Amino acid sequence: MDSYLWLKYLHIVSAMVIFGTGLGTAFQMWMAHRSQNAAVISAVAHNVVWADWLFTTPAVIVQPISGVILAWMVGYGWSDRWLTASVALYVLAGVCWLPVVWLQIRMRDLATEAALSRHPLPPTYQRCARWWFVLGWPAFGAVLVIIHLMIQRPIL
Q: Express each pLDDT in 95-129 by its tens digit.
A: 999 999 999 999 999 999 999 999 999 999 999 99
In this predicted structure, which of 47-51, 71-75, 118-122, 152-156 has the lowest mean pLDDT?
152-156
Encode pLDDT of 131-151 as tens digits: 999 999 999 999 999 999 999
122 by DSSP, 3-state: which?
coil
| Contact of 115 with 42, CB cutoff 8 Å | yes
Nearest 5°: phi and psi at 145?
-70, -40
- Residue 155 in this model has a pLDDT that exceeds 90: no
pLDDT score for 78:
85
Question: What distance in Å separates the CA atoms of residue 14 and residue 146, rounded to the nearest whole number?
Answer: 13
Question: What distance in Å separates the CA atoms of residue 41 and residue 118, rounded to the nearest whole number?
Answer: 13
pLDDT score for 113:
98
| Contact of 43 with 49, CB cutoff 8 Å | no
Other Cβ atoms within 10 Å of 35 Cβ, number:
11
Encode pLDDT of 24-59 as tens digits: 999 999 999 999 999 999 999 999 999 999 999 999
What predicted TM-score, i.e. pTM, was given to this entire model?
0.90
- Residue 10 in this model has a pLDDT that exceeds 80: yes
- Mean per-residue pLDDT over the chain, rounded: 96
Question: What distance in Å separates the CA atoms of residue 8 and residue 131, rounded to the nearest whole number?
Answer: 34
User: Higher confidence at residue 1 or residue 9?
Assistant: 9
Write the burial class of residue 36 (CB in 10 Å: 0-12 exposed, 13-18 middle, 19+ buried). middle
36 by DSSP, 3-state: which?
coil
